[in-house]
């Protein structure tokens, strides 16, 4: 008789509470008029409208990738491209309409802000409904704004960086994003300023059949440092939603940026997100990534190590349950000498879920003395599920030290026996091992998020099947 | 008559990012393969084994189902329809053929193409070893395209050694396909040492408790393009596979290594491992590796590891402290990389020949 | 017999269909220390694993009773809760689970009573001091990246924290340097009492310089070939197992 692990599905009840679908304005579909309408609603500068129209043209030219998960269930042309909630941007929670505020309270956002965040942004469907940053950081010149405001107030800075790191021509969904982006956060940390407590933006999608296209642009100047946390969730509807956000990170000389994400979109969400960092000399980007939600994810944070001595660390966990295909990983381009990358990717598959690690480490011809270490570990909890590892090493210099390791397997019977011999029940033993597997990621998260993650990997164990 | 080859080769079993241009290898230019008879003797020791097995020279009379596209469906088709040579072997049940069968092709201006189609059927509990050796005359623009199909019936052991040591103008395509039935084993040693373009493809179906061991060795120098692909389909319970690839790249050589372990649902207790070690000797080389692990079964163990870099400076220092100069030390280290594989080749003369080819190419001669 | 603590009768055990234990009999009384010695592959670890109910080891005949209770059909955690403990010859590594969490959970599971983190931490520290283990071991992952010696200490630490009634130490003294053997032996001495019992499986007599056994058994080819007092140790030091092996080869 073989024992089977029973790990519960991610508990999404908290995230699943739907608000009534109310809005002050929305656009359906995708064409030039819709784009002009969105831009007019936002009262944007002309260059941004032009940028949107150009992106739309590119969108129509590009095809969907022939690789990766099946996204044919997504009807982009009929997605609601823009949903303006029935409120403007607020600077105190009291001004946020009751039902929207309650949603964020349930998700713990105002409480977290109070306890351990330096600033918070909260987006509801297409627009940011709340944004604030602690006074002492504001005084030091730290800018933390919603993206739409930033386009107007910091026009030059935004124009110089907006979709320069991820151009609309990158792929079809980047082009789509360029055309219909809305909301998101803008962060600017001046040279030498260390923001010791994290900033967090939370993206909540409430409207059924809608797309969310927030844009996050972060510039960390020379010698500065920042920890940015991104959270996302949505209630589940029977129609499919699309998330095609874009994150652009500029890490300047000697700067440090940690970008943490706990992604918990509902299981009707196509999460086709693009995240990229350009790292200058001796700068560091750290990606901490937990993927739990969505129906389909295609998410590969990319680091371009542009300056000598730049470093990228990626620590990610993916938990694919029933009806989920989570295709995640990371891309690193070593474009300069003495650059370093570390990749530590873990995945768990259960109940027919498919998790895929897809990644690449590319070393360009001029990049000597490059070090890269890659480790991928997958845990299969049953044989209805799948787990694929698709890494690429593309090395164009000889002065390199590259190591890659991947492992796939199940929970070892010997370890179960060891734990049971100490009086721990089989169910608890399995739960302990799975939690231990995810621990290296949990360890990197602020305590509250680690707790949230452990709740997401709720381990509810059943008996034995024959 | 001549056939023009233009389709991309060695397509990955699962595709990934397009910008890497690694999903398949596009030929830089179409390659013409002349179709005409091959004139030389190619089985060195036919008499020694003739009594024990059924053997026919020439391509097989009947086609058997292929396990995959091979190097490309176009090239596989070419070997099936227009082969100019080949062997067909049936090893009767319980027959152990001790002496390796040696098949050697020498390409030159007259015999400028070898299109071989080989079929090896090892009946239950039989054993056989075959050595294929492809070489070419200096300055001859020649092409080899091969298809070798193996059916290893239960409990049998088939050892295949493939040595490719053609000159720099040669083009080499070679597909090996093995259906490995319960408790049977197929061991493959493959050495890619020459040619301007060398593309090989090995695919195997592993049934219950079947095993395959692959030792792959490549040496890239000058402008050689090497593209090697291995696909292990673990179908049966307790099936096992081990792949070790060792390579050295020098000058402007480019290599893509594609190795896939595919654990199908139902292949419980299967174990597969894949290791690749690449030694890089010049900044102008290109080394791509795509080690895929695909898994639809919980109760398996799969692992791969790859390492890539210049040689260990400590090792080099150690050797130099013993009085070796850098070139001698390099030779020694390269020899150390390859010798475990070369030592497995059951033919002393070939072992020496291979070592010499490597040393000569290392010295840039 | 007045008190029946551990009683093993005519135990036959198969591993992957091949017989390893072939009719083993052994009784251990409360308060006693027994030593089991025997050549490699004799079945010592098999005995230890089967006592804790490893699913891979199949009992084909015979019984194991502990305090009058038949263990044969109990799961490993149920046996642990009855007070059995095994110090593994090759302890498993459990990445991501800290020693402290693990032991606290095990303690709660075994006693059925909750224990506060601070109180548990105090107990743990005390036992760690005793074994000269640095405090940071509490926050390291269970045996993960531990050296051979550290793993063995970790096993003894677990024994001291869990306070079992019967502890089986499977080559806990192997691969340790002189100092470590002394520390481990001190841990065992600390644990020893008239209320519990210890079975020490070992190849070396060094640990027995610290802990005086009451009985010594030779396990050869799946059976207890000879039992006696501590004097047997000297015998085996001199003549090895070969002589006994040929004797036991009789039937
Ligand atoms: N888990 C196992 N799987 C397969 N064989 C085993 C296993 N455990 C023990 N054996 C076999 O049982 C025999 C006894 O082993 P063991 O009990 O470990 O001996 P000892 O501890 O006395 O050295 C050996 O032949 C060993 O190979
Ligand atoms: Mg033992």
Q: Measure C42 CA to ligand 2 centroid, in angstroms.
A: 8
In a domain, A8, yes or no: no
Task: From C46, C218, C248, give the residue whose CB has the most ligand 1 atoms within 8 Å, as the site to mutate.
Answer: C46
**pLDDT (0 to 100) of residue C246:** 62
Name the phi and psi angles at A335, rounded to 5.
Answer: -105, 0
Overall domain count for chain A: 1
Residue nearest to atom 10 of ligand 1 (CA): C15
Q: B283–A403: do the CB atoms touch at under 8 Å?
A: no
A266: in domain: yes
- Structural domain containing residue C179: 4-250
Q: What is the ipTM of this complex?
A: 0.94
User: pLDDT tens digits, residue range C143-189?
Assistant: 999 998 999 999 999 999 999 999 999 999 988 888 889 999 999 99
Contact A423 C77 (CB under 8 A): yes
H or E segment at C154?
A: helix C148-162
Which residues 408-427 of A are in CB contact (within 8 Å) with B?
Answer: 408-410
Euclidean distance between CA atoms B287 and B271, whole angstroms: 27
For the packed helices C117-130 and C148-162, what is the interaxial angle rounded to 10 degrees? 130
Give the separation between CA B28 and CA B31, rounded to whole angstroms. Answer: 9
Determine the pLDDT at residue A447: 72
The verdict on C16 touching A (C-beta cutoff 8 Å) is: no
pLDDT in tens, B148-182: 999 999 999 999 999 999 999 999 999 999 999 99
Q: What are phi and psi of B99, to 5 degrees?
A: -80, 130
pLDDT of res. B39 = 94
Helix locations, chain B, DSSP H: 46-50, 73-82, 313-321, 326-342, 348-362
Q: Is A365 on the interface with B (CB under 8 A)?
A: yes
Contact A199, A120 (CB under 8 A): yes
Closest CA to A32 of A52, A15, A47: A52
Residues in chain C within 8 Å Cβ distance of A412: 92
B17 to A365: CB separation less than 8 angstroms, yes or no: no
User: Up-side HSE of residue A90: CA atoms within 13 Å toward CB?
Assistant: 17
Nearest protein Cα to ligand 1, atom 17: C43
Q: Is A407 in CB contact (< 8 Å) with chain C?
A: no
Cβ separation of A393 and B289 shorter than 8 Å?
Answer: yes
What is this structure's pTM?
Answer: 0.89
Q: How high is the pLDDT of residue A3? A: 43
- Residue A289 burial by Cβ neighbours in a 10 Å radius (0-12, 13-18, 19+): buried
A73 touches chain B (CB under 8 A): no
- Phi first, then psi, for residue C204 (nearest 5°) are -120, 145
Tally of residues, chain B: 365
- Please determine, for residue B316, whether its predicted confidence score (pLDDT) is greater than 60: yes
DSSP 8-state symbol, A38: H
Model pLDDT, residue A117: 86
Please tell me the predicted confidence (pLDDT) of residue A460. Answer: 37
Please indicate, yes or no, if residue A146 is contained in any of the structural domains: yes
Contact A428 C109 (CB under 8 A): yes
Has residue A73 been placed in a domain? yes
CATH number (domain holding residue C162): 3.40.50.300
pLDDT at B241 over 70: yes
Cβ neighbours of A398 in B, within 8 Å: 249, 280-283, 285, 309-310
The per-residue pLDDT for A5 is 45
pLDDT attached to residue A457: 67
Query: Chain A residue with minimal CA distance to C111?
Result: A423
Phi/psi of residue A257, each to 5°? -140, 125
Distance from CA of B254 to the nearest CA of A (A): 9
B51-71 pLDDT, tens digit per residue, is 899 999 988 887 889 999 999
- Summary mean pLDDT of chain B: 94
Token digits for C108? 């709660």
Q: Which tokens is B192 given?
A: 């890619």
Cβ contact, residue pair C85, A421, below 8 Å: yes
H/E stretch holding A344 reads: strand A340-349
> Which tops the pLDDT comparison, B148 or B337?
B148
Query: How many domains does the structure of chain C reveal?
Result: 1
Helix count (H) and strand count (E) of chain C? 9, 12
Q: Would an 8 Å CB–CB cutoff place A461 in contact with chain C? A: no
Q: Does B20 touch chain A (CB under 8 A)?
A: yes
User: For ligand 1, is residue C43 a contact (CB within 6 Å)?
Assistant: yes
Q: Does C91 touch chain A (CB under 8 A)?
A: yes
pLDDT of residue C247: 58
Probe target for ligand 1 pocket from C16, C20, C24, C42, with the most ligand atoms within 8 Å of CB: C20
Q: Which helix (H) or strand (E) holds A349?
A: strand A340-349
Going by CA atoms, what residue is nearest to atom 18 of ligand 1? C45
What's residue A466's pLDDT? 23
Of C80, C94, C141, the CB nearest to A423: C80
Distance from the A384 Cα atom to the nearest Cα atom in chain C, whole angstroms: 25
Chain A partners of B294 at a C-beta cutoff of 8 Å? 386, 388-389
Give phi and psi for B146, each to the nearest 5.
-125, 150
The answer to whether the CB of C42 is under 6 A from ligand 1 is: yes
Smallest-distance ligand from the CA of C88: 2
End-to-end CA distance of chain C: 30
Residue indicated by tokens 């001291």: C160
**Cα–Cα distance, B275 to A402 (Å, whole number):** 13
For chain A (466 residues), the mean pLDDT of every run of 10, in chain order, is 50 74 83 94 95 97 95 87 87 88 85 85 88 90 95 96 97 96 96 94 86 95 96 80 96 97 89 97 96 94 98 95 96 98 96 96 97 96 95 96 95 94 91 88 78 64 29
Closest partner CB to B290 (pick from A380, A392, A395): A392
Upper half-sphere CA count for residue A180 (Cβ side, 13 Å): 31
The reply to whether residue A436 touches residue C162, judged by beta carbons under 8 angstroms, is no
CA atoms within 13 A of residue A456's CA, in its CB half-sphere: 25
Mutate-to-test residue for ligand 1 from C11, C14, C41, C88, highest number of ligand atoms within 8 A of CB: C41
Q: Quick check: B247 and B278 in contact, CB under 8 A?
A: yes
Q: Are B246 and B217 in contact (CB under 8 A)?
A: yes
Q: Under a CB-based contact definition with an 8 Å cutoff, are residues B127 and B153 in contact?
A: no
Report pLDDT for C251: 36
Is A132 inside any structural domain? yes
Inside any domain, residue A171: yes
Q: What is the per-residue burial (b if ≥16 Cβ within 10 Å, else e) of C50-82?
A: bbbbbeebebeebebbbeeeebeebebbbbbbb
What is the maximum alpha-carbon separation in chain B?
61
C202 in contact with ligand 1, CB cutoff 6 A: no
Angle formed at CA A149 by CA A145 and CA A154, multiple of 5 degrees: 85
CB C49 less than 6 A from any atom of ligand 1: no
- Chain A residue numbers touching C56 (CB-CB < 8 A): 413
Mean pLDDT of all residues in C83-90: 96
Range of the domain at A198: 14-299
Residues in chain A with CB shorter than 8 Å from the CB of C85 are 421
Please enumerate in sequence order all residues whose Cβ is within 8 A of that of A189, keeping only pairs 6 or more positions apart, or say none: A142, A195, A218, A219, A220, A221, A224, A225, A226, A255
Does the pLDDT at position C250 exceed 50? no
């Amino acid at each position: 008789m073989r024992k089977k692990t029973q790990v519960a599905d991610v508990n999404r009840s908290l995230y699943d509470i739907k608000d009534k679908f109310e809005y002050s304005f929305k656009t359906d579909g995708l064409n030039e008029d819709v784009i002009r309408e969105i831009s007019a609603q936002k009262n944007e500068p002309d260059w941004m409208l032009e940028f949107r129209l150009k992106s739309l043209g590119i969108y129509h030219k590009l095809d969907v990738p022939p690789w990766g998960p099946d996204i044919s269930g997504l009807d982009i042309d009929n997605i609601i491209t823009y949903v303006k909630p029935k409120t403007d941007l607020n600077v105190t929670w009291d001004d946020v309409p009751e039902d929207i505020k309650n949603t964020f309270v349930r998700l713990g956002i105002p409480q977290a802000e109070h306890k351990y965040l330096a600033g918070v942004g909260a987006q509801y469907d297409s627009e940011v409904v709340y944004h604030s940053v602690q006074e002492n950081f504001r005084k030091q010149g730290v800018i933390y704004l919603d993206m739409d405001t930033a386009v107007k107030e910091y026009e030059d800075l935004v124009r110089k960086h907006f979709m320069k790191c991820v151009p609309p021509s990158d792929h079809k969904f980047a082009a789509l994003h360029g055309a219909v982006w809305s909301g998101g956060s803008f962060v600017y940390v001046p040279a030498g300023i260390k923001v010791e407590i994290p900033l967090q933006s939370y993206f909540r999608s409430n409207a059924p059949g809608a797309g969310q296209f927030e844009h996050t642009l972060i510039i960390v100047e020379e010698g500065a440092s920042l920890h940015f946390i991104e959270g996302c969730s949505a209630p589940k509807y029977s129609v499919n939603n699309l998330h095609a956000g874009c994150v652009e990170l500029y890490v300047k000389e000697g700067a440090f940026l940690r970008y943490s994400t706990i992604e918990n979109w509902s299981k009707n969400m196509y999460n086709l997100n693009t995240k990229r960092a350009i790292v200058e000399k001796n700068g560091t980007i750290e990606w901490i990534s937990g993927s739990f939600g969505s129906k389909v994810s295609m998410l590969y944070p990319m680091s371009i190590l542009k300056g000598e001595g730049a470093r990228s660390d990626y620590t990610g966990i993916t938990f694919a349950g029933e009806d989920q295909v989570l295709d995640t990983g990371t891309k690193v381009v070593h474009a300069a000498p003495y650059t370093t990358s570390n990749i530590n990717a873990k995945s768990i598959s259960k109940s027919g879920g498919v998790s895929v690690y897809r990644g690449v480490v590319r070393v360009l011809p001029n990049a000597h003395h490059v070090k890269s270490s890659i480790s991928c570990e997958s845990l299969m909890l049953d044989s209805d599920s799948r787990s694929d590892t698709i890494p690429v090493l593309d090395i164009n210099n000889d002065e390199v030290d590259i190591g890659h390791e991947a492992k796939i397997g199940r929970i070892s019977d010997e370890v179960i026996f060891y734990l049971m011999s100490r009086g721990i029940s089989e169910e608890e033993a399995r739960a302990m091992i799975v939690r231990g597997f995810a621990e290296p990621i949990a360890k990197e998260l602020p305590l509250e998020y680690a707790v949230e993650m452990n709740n997401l990997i709720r381990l509810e164990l059943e008996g034995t099947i024959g | 008559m001549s056939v023009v080859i233009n389709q991309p080769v060695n397509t990955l079993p699962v595709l990934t990012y397009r910008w890497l241009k690694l999903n398949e290898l596009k030929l830089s230019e179409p390659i013409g393969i002349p179709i005409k008879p091959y004139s030389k003797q190619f089985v060195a020791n036919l008499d020694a084994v003739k009594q024990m097995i059924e053997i026919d020279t020439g391509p097989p009379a009947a086609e058997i189902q292929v396990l995959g596209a091979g190097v490309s469906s176009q090239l596989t088709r070419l070997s099936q329809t227009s082969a100019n040579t080949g062997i067909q072997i049936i090893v009767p049940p319980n027959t152990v053929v001790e002496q390796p069968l040696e098949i050697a092709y020498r390409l030159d201006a007259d015999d400028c193409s070898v299109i071989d189609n080989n079929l090896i059927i090892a009946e239950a509990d039989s054993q056989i070893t075959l050595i294929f050796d492809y070489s070419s005359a200096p300055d001859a623009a020649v092409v080899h395209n091969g298809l070798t199909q193996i059916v290893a019936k239960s409990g049998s052991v088939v050892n295949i050694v493939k040595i490719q040591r053609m000159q720099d103008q040669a083009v080499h395509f070679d597909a090996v396909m093995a259906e490995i039935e319960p408790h049977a084993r197929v061991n493959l040693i493959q050495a890619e040492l020459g040619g301007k373009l060398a593309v090989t493809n090995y695919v195997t179906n592993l049934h219950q408790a079947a095993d395959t061991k692959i030792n792959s060795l490549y040496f890239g120098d000058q402008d050689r393009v090497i593209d090697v692909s291995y696909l292990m389909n673990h179908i049966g319970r307790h099936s096992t596979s081990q792949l070790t690839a060792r390579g050295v790249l020098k000058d402007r050589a480019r290599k893509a290594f594609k190795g896939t372990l595919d654990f199908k649902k139902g292949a419980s207790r299967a174990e597969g491992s894949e290791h690749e070690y690449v030694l890089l000797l010049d900044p102008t080389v290109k080394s791509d590796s795509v080690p895929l692990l695909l898994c639809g079964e919980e109760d398996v163990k799969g692992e791969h590891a790859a390492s890539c870099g210049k040689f260990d400076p400590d090792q080099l220092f150690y050797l130099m402290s013993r009085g070796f100069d850098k070139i001698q030390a390099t030779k020694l280290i390269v020899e150390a990389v390859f010798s475990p594989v070369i030592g497995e080749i059951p033919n002393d003369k070939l072992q020496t020949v291979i070592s010499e080819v490597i040393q000569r190419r290392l010295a840039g001669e | 017999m007045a008190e029946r603590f551990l009683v093993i009768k005519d135990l036959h055990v198969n591993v992957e269909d091949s017989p390893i234990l072939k009719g083993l009999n052994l009784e251990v009384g409360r308060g006693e220390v027994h030593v089991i010695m025997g050549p490699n592959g004799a079945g010592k670890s098999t005995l230890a694993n089967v006592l804790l109910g490893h699913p891979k080891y199949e009992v084909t005949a015979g019984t194991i009773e502990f305090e009058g209770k038949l263990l044969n059909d109990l799961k490993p955690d149920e046996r642990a809760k009855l007070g059995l403990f095994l110090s593994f010859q090759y302890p498993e590594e459990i990445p991501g689970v800290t020693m402290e969490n693990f032991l606290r959970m095990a303690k709660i599971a075994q006693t059925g009573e909750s224990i506060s983190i601070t109180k548990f931490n105090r107990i743990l520290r005390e036992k760690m001091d005793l074994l000269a283990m640095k405090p940071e071991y509490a926050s390291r992952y269970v045996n993960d990246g531990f050296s051979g010696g550290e793993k063995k200490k970790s096993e003894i630490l677990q024994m001291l924290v869990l306070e079992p009634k019967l502890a089986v130490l499977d080559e806990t003294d192997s691969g340790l340097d002189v100092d470590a053997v002394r520390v481990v032996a001190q841990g065992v001495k600390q644990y020893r009492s008239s209320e519990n019992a210890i079975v020490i499986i070992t190849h070396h007599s060094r640990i027995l310089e610290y802990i005086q056994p009451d009985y010594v058994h030779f396990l050869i080819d799946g059976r207890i070939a000879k039992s006696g007092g501590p004097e047997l140790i000297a015998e085996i030091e001199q003549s090895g197992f070969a002589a006994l092996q040929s004797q036991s080869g009789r039937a």
